[in-house]
Amino acid sequence: MQLNIRCFAVLVISSALTLSAPLRAQENPTSVTPEKTIAIRAGHLIDGKRDKPLDNVLILIKGDSIVSVTGNGAPPSGAEVIDLSKATVLPGFIDTHTHVLLNGDITAEDYDKQLLKESIPYRAILGARNARIALENGFTSIRDVETEGAMYADVDVKKSIANGEVPGPRMQVATRAMTPTGMYPLLGYSWELKVPTGVQYVDGVDGARKAVREQVMYGADWIKYYSDRRYHFEPDGVLHSMVNFTDEEAKAIVDETHRLGKKVAAHAIGSDGVSAALRAGVDTIEHGDGLTEPQMEEMAKRGIYWVPTIVVGAYVAPGRGGNWTKMVDLEKAAFPKALKKGVKIALGTDAGGFDWKEINEAREFQYYADYGMTPMQAIRTGTSVAAELLGWSEKLGTVEGGKWADLVAVSGDPLKDITELQRVKFVMKAGVVYKNDLH
């Protein structure tokens, strides 16, 4: 079967990833926000704003928010003190491209099994589990960009986390991605059978506007659509693709989404798909392997974010063969060009349910450093820049007074060894500690 996507997760989650209970989460789901005062002694702080870390600081937290960040003085009387004086503290990580409802790769075998043999409630349970694993590895916020056939179950996972029913990251969700009829699995079954699809089929301008309204009605924070498929190289050396929607349809999706106060993410891998998405006026380009320099310049000028999702593509490309390895190499070459031209790059992994022992979601930071960013720039893609993409800059992405108390800590110095971000030892979300291996 010809696959026309790259939105997939890597491996089925290992049974070895048994989840531990959060260290101080309340059993009563209506009491998840602690009212106590916490003082964190941080040996080093990368706050998401400054170019250099701060040493020996005191982070004062009240309830779910940071009150102040000051020199390492005496904590207030009665405050609970958490000693991270030998660690580096950072803002909680943000992944702007996940699929927590999907487990395994999008091959006919894995994908068809989930849509044909697993109920949506069961997949939602696994999605909540996957979200919790992400949290315990330092990702305190995520944007989940489609349920892969699980309808609006991402809204339920988001709601259960927000209501304190289960632990997990803060979420923005895109519910059902959109594509024209017949351009996304499940495909190849007899026409006599009506089988599930991994997306919402959308045709025509009126159909596009109706689909946007429906998804927003059911809780979508973002609208995500597939701009292209069938990626191939031509003699000009550019990665080309087949565009899915007409310009009128794509523009209708974007215009209606913006009219309703939401934003649009476009899956666009080939240069033709990117151009079509830019013409439509999208807010983010997802994947973008085939970005050309003129497209980068346009994105920089218009403030359109690029979410490269390198980690999953690089991981599975060797096993997929064909153009996939060449596409990974092309994206590697495009990355420093986009960086130099001032394109806003936000961290996104394309990860869903997978074995974190095999590959850690924070590996994306390392790719960005390998591809030309400084470690500090790479860290910002998954903290302050990602918060901007989500529209949450007032509360997320940096460590300062008035922000939510979403913090992580690592033992070493990620500015010297960025792989430290793959070994998170401490996680706090909204003032609640979910992990502390730095006793």
DSSP per position, 233-275: E-TTS-EEEEE-S-HHHHHHHHHHHHHTT-EEEEEE-SHHHHH
Higher pLDDT, 297 or 13: 297
Give the length of the chain.
439
> Considering the chain, what is the average pLDDT of its residues?
91
pLDDT band, residue 395 (cuts 50/70/90):
very high
Residues 271-284: tens digit of each pLDDT:
999 999 999 999 99
Residues 325-374: tens digit of each pLDDT:
999 999 999 999 999 999 999 999 998 876 667 788 999 999 999 999 99
pLDDT at residue 318, rounded to an integer: 74
CB distance 244 to 227 below 8 Å: yes
Compute the average pLDDT of residues 34-44.
91
Higher pLDDT, 175 or 10: 175
What residues form DSSP beta bridges with 17? none
Mean pLDDT check: name the lowest of 6-10, 39-43, 48-52, 264-268.
6-10
pLDDT at residue 5, rounded to an integer: 36
pLDDT at residue 401, rounded to an integer: 97
Q: Taking 70 as the threshold, does the pLDDT of residue 393 lie above it?
A: yes
pLDDT at residue 30, rounded to an integer: 46
Residues 6-35: tens digit of each pLDDT:
333 333 333 333 334 444 343 344 445 447
Higher pLDDT, 185 or 322: 185
Mean pLDDT check: name the lowest of 109-118, 148-157, 244-253.
109-118
What ranges make up the beta strands (E) of 269-350?
284-287, 305-307, 344-345
pLDDT at residue 220, rounded to an integer: 98
Name the architecture of domain 29-91+400-436.
Roll (2.30)
Give the domain ranges of the chain.
Answer: 29-91+400-436, 93-390
Residues 176-224: tens digit of each pLDDT:
999 999 999 999 999 999 999 999 999 999 999 999 999 999 999 999 9
- Helix %, strand %, coil % for the chain, to 5? 30, 25, 45
Residue corresponding to tokens 């531990």 = 20
Cα gap 6→268, rounded to integer Å: 9
Q: Taking 70 as the threshold, does the pLDDT of residue 255 lie above it?
A: yes
Higher pLDDT, 125 or 19: 125
Name the architecture of domain 93-390.
Alpha-Beta Barrel (3.20)
Backbone φ, ψ for residue 402 (5° rounding): 95, -15
pLDDT at residue 314, rounded to an integer: 86
pLDDT at residue 162, rounded to an integer: 97
pLDDT at residue 105, rounded to an integer: 65
Compute the average pLDDT of residues 234-248.
96
pLDDT at residue 32, rounded to an integer: 52
Q: Taking 70 as the threshold, does the pLDDT of residue 91 lie above it?
A: yes
Among 115, 113, 103, 119, CA closest to 194: 115
pLDDT band, residue 3 (cuts 50/70/90):
very low
Question: Which residue type does 148 have?
Answer: E
